[in-house]
Amino acid sequence: MIIAEGIYSMDGDTCDLSRLIELKKRHKTLLMIDEAHSIGVLGPQGRGIGHHFPGVDPNDVDVWMGTLSKSFASCGGYIAGSSALVRYLKYTAPGFVYSAGLPPPNAAAALKSLELMQAEPEVVEQLRQRSRFFLDCLRTRGIDTGDAIGAAVVPAIIGNSLECLKLSEALAGRGINVQPIVYPAVEDDAARLRFFISALHSEAQLQQTADAVREELARIRGDGSRPEVSL
Ligand SMILES: Cc1ncc(COP(=O)(O)O)c(C=O)c1O
């Protein structure tokens, strides 16, 4: 089985879905896509990466998986696929056989989010626009954003775990909540802050945040505290 993420949670870039489909057909294997970060973000009405690339048939992906805890503002997850796969999982997956399934309030909250995305696709478009805006804000301030395409997940690659922790704390002091991703989740020289952008972030907030990243990083690096030993 080939398993990939729709939007990669650490880098904010996408997989090349057409090539993965080509690969899975060539090797007669199965393809599973984790849409935790791409459902509600990519494609018209936030339908996900299966609707993002022209010419891709979502039926060519055998297992679609996602969480309800991000764009759907709920808790729990889903697996989608052919009716044979869904029937198989209903009879064998522990969530159905041994323990309680998804509580109705969580299912209702996720369903409402889905309905809102269908009714108000402009909100999804605004999320992408704001994400690209923030990506540009960081880039123009000389911050390394790696391969990010500007779709909800935007990393600021700091390149040192200790500096990254200090920066996250300094930004919290300025009212900005962004969590550090440090070694061993990523290589020490790829330690980063991972920003999650929402459609409700204003351009002014995003600009101020990018300014704060640049200022605090300069302060941390300039005050002689650059660590000699990395984590
Ligand atoms: C790529 C990916 N898949 C799945 C999940 C699972 O989400 P949760 O268990 O929080 O619903 C996450 C959560 O961060 C994720 O980043």
Model pLDDT for residues 34-77, shown as the tens digit of each residue: 999 999 999 999 999 999 999 999 999 999 999 999 999 999 99
Question: Which CA distances in Å does 77 have to 67, 74, 80?
Answer: 4, 9, 10
Q: Provide the pLDDT for residue 147.
A: 96
Beta bridge partners of 108: none
7 Cα to the center of ligand 1, angstroms: 12
Question: Mean of the pLDDT values across residues 12-24?
Answer: 97
Q: Is the CB of 36 within 6 Å of ligand 1?
A: yes
The pick from 7, 10, 70, 75 for probing ligand 1's pocket by mutation, whose C-beta has the most ligand atoms within 8 angstroms, reads 70
- Report the distance separating Cα 207 and Cα 148, nearest Å: 18
Which atom, in ligand 1's list, is nearest to the CA of 69? 11
Average pLDDT along the chain: 93
Q: Provide the pLDDT for residue 231.
A: 46
Q: Provide the pLDDT for residue 223.
A: 58
Q: Is the CB of 15 within 6 Å of ligand 1?
A: no
pLDDT band for position 93 (cuts 50, 70, 90): confident
- Residues, the chain: 231
181 in Cβ contact with 10 (< 8 Å) = yes
Give the residue with greater pLDDT, 113 vs 224.
113
Q: Is the CB of 67 within 6 Å of ligand 1?
A: yes
Residue with CA closest to ligand 1 atom 6: 67
Q: Which of 156, 132, 133 is nearest to 146 (CA)?
A: 156
Q: Provide the pLDDT for residue 101.
A: 79
- Report the distance separating Cα 67 and Cα 79, nearest Å: 9
Q: How far apart are the first and last CA of the chain?
A: 35
Task: Give the H/E segment covering residue 210.
Answer: helix 203-222
Question: Mean of the pLDDT values across residues 149-178?
Answer: 96
Question: Mean of the pLDDT values across residues 83-96?
Answer: 88
31-34 vs 63-67, strand pairing mode: parallel
Look at residue 32 and tell me whether its pLDDT is greater than 80.
yes
Q: Provide the pLDDT for residue 159.
A: 94
pLDDT tens, residue by residue, 209-222 = 999 999 999 999 98
Region of poorest pLDDT, from 104-108, 110-114, 115-119, 224-228:
224-228
Residue with CA closest to ligand 1 atom 5: 36
148 in Cβ contact with 193 (< 8 Å) = no
Taking the CA atoms of 45, 68, 147 and 138 in sequence, report the sign of the dihedral they define. positive
The pick from 9, 63, 72, 79 for probing ligand 1's pocket by mutation, whose C-beta has the most ligand atoms within 8 angstroms, reads 9
Beta bridge partners of 63: 32, 81
Look at residue 229 and tell me whether its pLDDT is greater than 50.
no
Question: Mean of the pLDDT values across residues 142-152?
Answer: 97
Q: Provide the pLDDT for residue 230.
A: 45
179-181 vs 192-196, strand pairing mode: antiparallel
6 in Cβ contact with 48 (< 8 Å) = yes
Give the residue with greater pLDDT, 9 vs 95.
9
Task: Give the H/E segment covering residue 4.
Answer: strand 2-5
Residue 52 DSSP code:
T
Question: Mean of the pLDDT values across residues 109-121?
Answer: 96
